[in-house]
Structure formats: C-alpha cells, structure tokens
C-alpha cells in the first residue's frame, strides 16, 4: 500500500473515532428519563438517532461492499427512516434500550474500523466511508438541536453553557461590493469526485458557471439587536410586511405565553423569535436549559424563512440568491484555483468559524475576522445556516447519488440555506454545501444576512 493509502486509512479511522466519541457523549450525558424526549416533529429520540446512523453504515458500507448480513434483521425496518413513521420512533415497545442500542453501535463501528484497516481502499470504498461518517454528523447536529428544542442541558462540548456574559462591542461592517462577472459554483460531477480528494453530495453537483450582475451583500449576519428593532416596531403584527406564506405561518404557528396577566398559559401567534421572551424588564434568550440576557450584538438564530423575509421587507433589504451567497463566500472564478472555504482550503478552526456545538452563536456578528471571505464577509461558514431566496432545486446535469434520497425528497418545497451553523460539524461543511429546510423551520440553527435592494 502506498504512503498516501496508509495516510488516508489513518485519517478515516480518526474521523470514525471522533464521530463515535461525539455520538456517545450526546447519549451518555442524558439520564434514562431524558432519552425518551417529548414528541416534536423536528426531532428524533437520541437512541433512534444512534441506531439509525449505525444502520446506515451497515447498509451503505458493509452490505453494499461485502454483502454482510444485518446485525439484527428484525430491527432493519425500525432503524430505516423510510420504513418507520416519525411518531412511531417514540415507541418504547418497538425499540431496544440504551445498552442494547449502544452495543449495536459499538459493534458496527468495530466492524467498519476493521474493514478500513484490512481491506483495500479503492475510490468507491473511500467515498462510502466518508458518506456514512458525514451522514452521522448530520445526526450529531440534529441531536444537538434536539436538546435545545426540549430544553435539556447543553451538550458537553459547549463552552460556558450558562454564561450570561455579552459578546462585547459590535462594529458596523456595512456591505461588501461584489462586481459583475462570471463565477464558478458547486463541486465536480460524480465521475470526477471518485478520482479526487474532494467529497460532495449530489445536491452540490455538477460544478457550473453563472453570470451575475454586481450586487452588495452584508459583511455580517443580522444581529439580535437589528432584529429586536423589527420586533419592537410591531413587525409581527404588520401584515403588509409578510408574504402570503408568511401570513399563513403566523396564523398556524403559535407560542405558549402568558397574556394580559392571565394566570394560565394561552396560545397566541408569534410576536418574537422562538426562544426569546420578555422577562423581569429585559429581553432574554433561552440557550438549552438556561435563560440569559439577549445579546444585541450576537447573531439572530432560530429564525424561519418567513421571519427573515418579513425583516427584509421592513428594512428595505432582500435575501441573497444562493448563487450570490456562494460568490460572496468563496469568490471562485473559472480558470483560477478553487476555494472551498472563504479563507482558502485549510479546514475550519475555532478562529475562523463557530462550529462543532462549542460557541453556539454567542460571539458578536463582527467577530472571527480570520474567517473572512475574499470580499470581507464574516461568519459565512458556521454560526447559522443562512436563508437564501431560492427554492431547493437540482443543478442542471444533476445525477442521483448512491443514496438516492439525499436531495431528491427536498426538491421543490424546501428553501436553500448555506454555510452551516454553530452545531454543524466542521468536518462536514464547505462553501458549496447546500442544506434544504422547509420555510417554517425555526427550531434548527438558521439565521440570515441580506443584500441591498
């Protein structure tokens, strides 16, 4: 085996071990009563997440490459997200407990690690290993926002989870000027990826060129303070600021709140972002199980597309298209060296991006200058998935990947978000990555930046 092949195997084993440790930490730090989280349409029980991710390794590595039979065939339909109804994942009668599920995961991890060490590492195997590992990191992110959704303590990686300190002075960064021109978008097509170091999901492919007019985009995300001005100006009660979809969301989305001195909670339409409240004479924001003062300089997070759109109408701004977003983040041009991140091709670090469920979006929107894009835009990687104005649709020349449902189920009715969030894994993200969320989602780590009209 070549030195490169050995290095790749060592890298894969390191990624696998990191993934195993992060998953175990998210489960092992919960008590048995906490593992059965309250039902919510945006989350899954942590043990189901663990079992499902292990099943993915079985199906798309061990079974696909070697024909290895299932660890427990009777559980296959239950771990498969396409064979088990979402609400049924909460059934105590259907699923094994903590120790059985944990042993299942560790057994599959040992089998995958042994295969990496002992079997040849061709391009297909390399791609499938990465795919399964990165798939699990999507579930690590969802296990993190599950804790936020149900109000559990912060994951162990979070720094100072109960800190009430504010982010400090926020300097105004203004807009970046992006010149008109032809720009390169996306990652290489499937036949090219297997022969390269690059990894990409099917929604990012194939690479193509776009021609854009000049535009101006904010160098930083919208802050809590900027969004608070909209809230205090009655933004949620002004129908002229909301599109038809936004007004429908306001009518169907409800908060549980105390209104007009009532002694019992009542239901009302949203008047502010999810996880905000007015309490003891100040605005507060919930971080996992702790309420802390709202930091005006920190980025606004847990915002639906409809809220971002309404804020833009109020402020006389607009959301970027996803092509504009990628150009502002990466600045790739035909014929020039390809840039995977705003700062170049080195992987994300804490000095460049708020990721890996550590900072949780508590820095100022002007922070992290080391992560600036070529145009001076900050925090385009990490902090919050940023809404764009586009529907999630395939690029011209799209081909379904080896996992046929990675993108196809979201085409048409989801909106594109970009850049990754504070809970996203730094090994997963790159500037070309496209995430699709339904426009009403505000339980995930979504925020936004804007363009001049």
The secondary structure of residue 341, as a DSSP letter, is B
Residue 275 lies in a domain: no
Which residue(s) pair with 387 in the sheet? 417
One domain for residues 145 and 162: no
Residue 266 lies in a domain: no
Residue 399 lies in a domain: yes
The mean of the pLDDT values for the chain is: 91
Domain boundary among 116, 150, 184: 150
What pLDDT score was predicted for residue 111?
Answer: 97
pLDDT digits (tens, 9 = 90+) for 153-170: 999 999 887 778 788 777
Count of residues making up the chain: 453
Task: Write the CATH number for 85.
Answer: 1.20.120.450
Residue 263 lies in a domain: no
What b/e sequence results for 266-300 when a residue is b if at least 16 CB atoms lie within 10 Å of its CB, and e otherwise? Answer: eeeebbbbbbbbeeeeebbbebbeebbebbbbbbb
One domain for residues 205 and 341: yes
pLDDT digits (tens, 9 = 90+) for 392-440: 999 998 888 877 777 877 888 899 999 999 999 999 999 999 999 999 9
Domain boundary among 150, 170, 205: 150
One domain for residues 344 and 413: yes
What pLDDT score was predicted for residue 349?
Answer: 96
**Sign (positive/negative) of CA torsion 199, 204, 208, 211?**
negative
pLDDT digits (tens, 9 = 90+) for 342-372: 999 999 999 999 999 999 999 999 999 999 9
Please, which pLDDT band fits residue 261 given cuts at 50, 70 and 90? Answer: very low
Residue 335 lies in a domain: yes
Mean pLDDT of the region 241-262: 74
One domain for residues 141 and 172: no
One domain for residues 337 and 198: yes
CA distance 434 to 430: 9
Residue 291 lies in a domain: no
Residue 393 lies in a domain: yes
Please, which pLDDT band fits residue 193 given cuts at 50, 70 and 90? Answer: very low
One domain for residues 78 and 176: no
Mean pLDDT of the region 204-211: 94
What domain range is 395 assigned to?
157-242+298-453
One domain for residues 34 and 129: yes
196 pLDDT more than 60: no
Mean pLDDT of the region 255-284: 72
One domain for residues 161 and 136: no
Mean pLDDT of the region 258-264: 43
One domain for residues 113 and 216: no
The 3-state DSSP class for residue 12 equals: helix
Residue 284 lies in a domain: no
Please, which pLDDT band fits residue 256 given cuts at 50, 70 and 90? Answer: very low
One domain for residues 70 and 213: no
One domain for residues 185 and 134: no
CA distance 406 to 427: 18
One domain for residues 94 and 193: no
E-only strand ranges, 163-298? 175-178, 181-185, 208-212, 215-218, 255-257, 266-268, 276-279, 282-287, 290-293
Q: Kindly state the tokens that stand for 388.
A: 């764009």
For the chain, what is the domain count?
2
What pLDDT score was predicted for residue 4?
Answer: 63
Domain boundary among 150, 169, 194: 150
Task: Write the CATH number for 385.
Answer: 3.90.1580.10
pLDDT digits (tens, 9 = 90+) for 65-74: 999 999 999 9
pLDDT digits (tens, 9 = 90+) for 279-319: 999 999 999 999 999 999 999 999 999 999 999 999 999 99
Contacts of 58 (CB under 8 A, 6+ apart): 68, 70, 71, 108
């Amino acid at each position: 085996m070549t030195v490169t092949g050995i290095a790749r195997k060592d890298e894969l084993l390191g990624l696998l071990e990191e993934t195993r440790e992060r998953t175990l930490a998210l489960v092992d730090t919960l008590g048995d009563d906490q593992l059965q989280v309250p039902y919510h349409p945006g989350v899954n029980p942590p043990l189901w997440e663990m079992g499902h991710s292990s099943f993915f390794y079985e199906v798309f590595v061990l079974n696909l490459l070697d024909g290895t039979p299932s660890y427990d065939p009777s559980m296959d339909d239950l771990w498969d997200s396409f064979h088990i109804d979402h609400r049924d994942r909460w059934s105590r009668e259907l699923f094994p407990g903590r120790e059985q599920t944990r042993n299942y995961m560790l057994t599959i991890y040992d089998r995958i690690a042994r295969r990496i060490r002992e079997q040849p590492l061709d391009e297909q195997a390399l791609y499938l290993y990465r795919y399964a590992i990165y798939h699990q990191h999507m579930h690590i992110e969802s296990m993190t926002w599950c804790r936020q959704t149900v109000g559990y303590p912060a994951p162990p990686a979070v720094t100072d989870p109960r800190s009430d300190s504010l982010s400090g002075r926020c300097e105004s960064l203004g807009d970046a000027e992006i010149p008109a021109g032809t720009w390169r978008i996306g990652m290489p097509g499937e036949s090219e990826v297997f022969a390269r170091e690059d990894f990409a999901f099917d929604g990012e492919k194939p690479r193509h060129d776009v021609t854009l007019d000049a535009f101006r985009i904010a160098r930083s995300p919208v802050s809590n303070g900027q969004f608070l001005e909209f809230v205090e100006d009655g933004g949620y009660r002004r129908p002229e600021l909301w599109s038809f979809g936004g007004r429908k969301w306001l009518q169907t989305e409800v908060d549980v709140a105390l209104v007009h001195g009532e002694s019992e909670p009542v239901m009302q339409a949203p008047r502010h972002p999810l996880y905000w409240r007015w309490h003891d004479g100040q605005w507060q924001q919930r971080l996992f199980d702790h309420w802390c003062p709202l930091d005006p300089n920190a980025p606004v997070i847990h915002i639906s597309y409809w809220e971002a759109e309404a804020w833009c109408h109020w402020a006389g701004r607009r959301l970027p298209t996803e092509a504009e977003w990628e150009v502002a983040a990466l600045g790739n041009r035909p014929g020039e060296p390809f840039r995977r991140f705003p700062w170049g091709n080195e992987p994300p670090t804490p000095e460049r991006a708020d990721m890996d469920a550590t900072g949780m979006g508590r820095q100022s929107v002007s922070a992290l200058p080391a992560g600036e894009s070529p145009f001076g835009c900050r925090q385009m990687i990490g902090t919050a998935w940023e809404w764009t104005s586009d529907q999630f649709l395939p690029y011209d020349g799209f081909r379904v990947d080896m996992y046929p449902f990675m993108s196809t189920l979201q085409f048409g009715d989801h909106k594109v978000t970009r850049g990754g969030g504070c809970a996203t894994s730094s090994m997963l993200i790159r500037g070309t990555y496209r995430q699709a969320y339904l426009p009403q989602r505000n339980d995930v780590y979504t925020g936004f930046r804007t363009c001049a009209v």
